[in-house]
Amino acid sequence: MGEGKPVKKIGVLTSGGDAPGMNAAVRAVVRTAINYGMEVVGIKRGFSGLIENDYVPLTGRSVADTIAKGGTFLYTARCPEMITREGQELAAKNCKEQGIDALVVIGGDGSFRGCLSLAELGINVIGIPGTIDLDIACTEYTIGFDTAINTAMEAIDKIRDTSTSRERCSIIEVMGRHAGFIALWCGLANGAEAVLTTELYNYEEKKLIDDIELKRKNGRQHYIIINAEGIGDSEGMARRIEYATGMSTSATILGYLQRGGSPTCKDRVYASAMGAK
């Protein structure tokens, strides 16, 4: 695309793992573009929709009342084709044939790699960081993180209540295969006795068991462990701890619960600001 060419038509898509606040970002993109006299099309199911030419016109009415809704009304999906050069070239070709002058992609690290491949093929691309994992380089915040940690924190608070009442050890596994920010923030906010993440991984189970036994001798009646998804094996860990210490131990995997729900105020505001910019 030549420099200085006016942008008349924008495409917007949500890609990869869904995150609360994606709808707010799409809404802001649409409202801002319309304000500047641009046409906007939504591309359904991420890069898959770009490859399959699955588009829907977006207007102010299309995005009305979406700011408070979780998930993404454009849907999202993983797109294995975007890993291949053939898939990337087809996506770029379809983008040009549809007359899309600029593409806005809301997603995580895999989505940003897709953005780079399209930019190398001549597509004007803007990436908006949207992932609960907070693992995008060169940005301090990603849409969805605040909602995810508040959802996880509420669940951990409730587990702590019952763990204390039953004098037991509780392992709570949170999302974060390669990034332990959810585990770290929730561990700090909930006063967990132990936090296990891939970045800080010097975990020795014997030391953990020794710490549990020491704290029990000192009068601690419960023990909370926040375990990042990348460490895994929470249920096996629970069995081994119970066998070694005699302390009743359970594992709770929060899973996709962390991706759902209405976005927090922070996620709505940040998503709106990013989308408008």
Question: Is the separation of the CB atoms in 47 and 13 below 8 Å?
Answer: yes
User: What distances in angstroms separate CA 251 from CA 36, 154, 172, 174, 194, one per listed residue?
Assistant: 52, 16, 6, 11, 14
**3-state DSSP call for residue 272?**
helix
140 secondary structure, DSSP code: S
Residue linked to tokens 């301090």: 140
Report the side by side order of strands in the sheet with 223-228. Answer: 194-196, 223-228, 169-174, 249-253
Q: Catalytic pick from 133, 135, 146, 267? A: 133
Pick from 196, 207, 147: nearest CA to 174: 196
Phi, psi of 4 (to 5 degrees): 85, 0
Residue linked to tokens 């960081």: 129
**3-state DSSP call for residue 242?**
helix
| Catalytic site includes residue 133 | yes
Spell out the alpha helix ranges (H) of the chain: 22-35, 47-52, 85-97, 109-120, 145-166, 181-190, 205-217, 234-245, 265-276
Give CA torsion, residues 95, 129, 19, 80, to 10 deg.
50
d(CA 119, CA 276): 21
Do the strands 55-58 and 39-43 form a parallel or antiparallel pair, or are they unpaired? antiparallel
Pick from 60, 54, 49, 57: nearest CA to 27: 60
User: Which residues have a catalytic role annotated?
Assistant: 133
